[in-house]
Structure 1
Amino acid sequence: MDLSTLLSPDCTRRAVDGSSKKKVLELIGQLAAPRLSGTTSFDVFESLLNRERLGSTGIGLGVAIPHGRLGSANKPVAVLLTLADPVDFDAIDNQPVDIIFALLVPEDEHEEHLQTLAAVAQRLNDKSCTRALRDADSDKELFKLFTQGDNA
């Protein structure tokens, strides 16, 4: 799966200051909304928060994959963040999170949504991948590390 079609360099940030889960979700909204015509940062935030209320998207090992569906979205968009300091994300292993991959998809793209989440989870379960992401020195390097091999 070519994740570079979902993730763009302008939605990739390293060493972000995120003091709480809520602040991180707000930042994701601010980054994603400009790429989703007709969608506000609050729409994105609310979609992610509603999904978190169903159960945490913290998958363990310092990783979270918040995701949501938006009626106003016309294409899927992703945001990748590493945090300067881990935050409590109510992860399944009770460990704080410092790598966040957020996915926002149109309301009607159920199957593609699930396939993308599976591909992202597989990539982020690879300890060498997460180690490299944590060690990235720039936003550009973070983007490159996450998307490398997509076209192989």
Structure 2
Amino acid sequence: MDLSTLLSPDCTRRAVAGSSKKKVLEMIGQLAAPRLSGTTSFDVFESLLNRERLGSTGIGLGVAIPHGRLQSANKPVAILMTLAEPIDFDAIDNQPVDIVFALLVPEEEHEQHLQTLAAVAQRLNDKSCTRALRDAQNDQELYQLFTDDNCG
């Protein structure tokens, strides 16, 4: 899967200061909303928060993949962040999270949503890939590493 079609360099941030899960979800909303016509940062935040209420998207190994579907979204948008300090994300392994990949898709794109989540989860379960992402020196390097088919 070509992840560069979902993730753009301007939606990739390294060493973000996120003090809590809520704050990180708010930051994702602020980054994603301008790329989704007719969608506000609050719409994005609410979609992500509602999904988190169903169960944490912290998949373990310091990684979270918050995601949501939006009626007003006209295309899929992704946000990738590494955090300056790991935060509690209620992950399944009870470990703090420092890599966050958020995915927002139009309401009707259920199948694409699932396929994309699976591809991202597979990439972020690769320890050499996550190690490389954590070692990225700037936003551009983080983007290039993540979108490289040989991440890590």
RMSD: 0.7
TM-score, with length taken from structure 1:
0.98
Matches within 5 A, 1:9-28: 9-28=9-28
* Deviation digits for residues 59-117 of structure 1 (CA, Å, limit 9, x no counterpart): 00000000000000010000000000000000000000000000000000000000000
Structure 2 CA distance for aligned equivalents of residues 56 and 109 of structure 1: 22
27-36 or 141-150, larger mean C-alpha shift: 141-150
SS in 2 for 1:10: helix
TM-score, with length taken from structure 2:
0.98
Q: Give the equivalent residue in structure 1 for 2:68.
A: 68
Q: Give the equivalent residue in structure 2 for 1:30.
A: 30
What is the count of residue pairs matched by the alignment?
150
Q: Give the equivalent residue in structure 1 for 2:83.
A: 83
Structure 2 CA distance for aligned equivalents of residues 7 and 109 of structure 1: 17
Letter in 1 for 2:61: L
Q: Give the equivalent residue in structure 2 for 1:58.
A: 58
Matches within 5 A, 1:112-127: 112-127=112-127
Name structure 1 gaps, 5 residues minimum. none
**What percentage of residue pairs aligned between the two structures are identical?**
88
* Deviation digits for residues 33-60 of structure 1 (CA, Å, limit 9, x no counterpart): 1110110000000000000000000000
Q: How far off its partner does 1:149 sit?
A: 2.2
Q: Give the equivalent residue in structure 1 for 2:44.
A: 44
Structure 2 CA distance for aligned equivalents of residues 139 and 37 of structure 1: 24
Structure 2 CA distance for aligned equivalents of residues 51 and 19 of structure 1: 20
Structure 2 CA distance for aligned equivalents of residues 9 and 117 of structure 1: 19
Letter in 2 for 1:63: V
Runs of 4+ in 1 over 3 A off after TM superposition: none
Name structure 2 gaps, 5 residues minimum. none
SS in 2 for 1:74: coil
Q: Give the equivalent residue in structure 1 for 2:141.
A: 141
Structure 1 CA distance for aligned equivalents of residues 28 and 117 of structure 2: 17
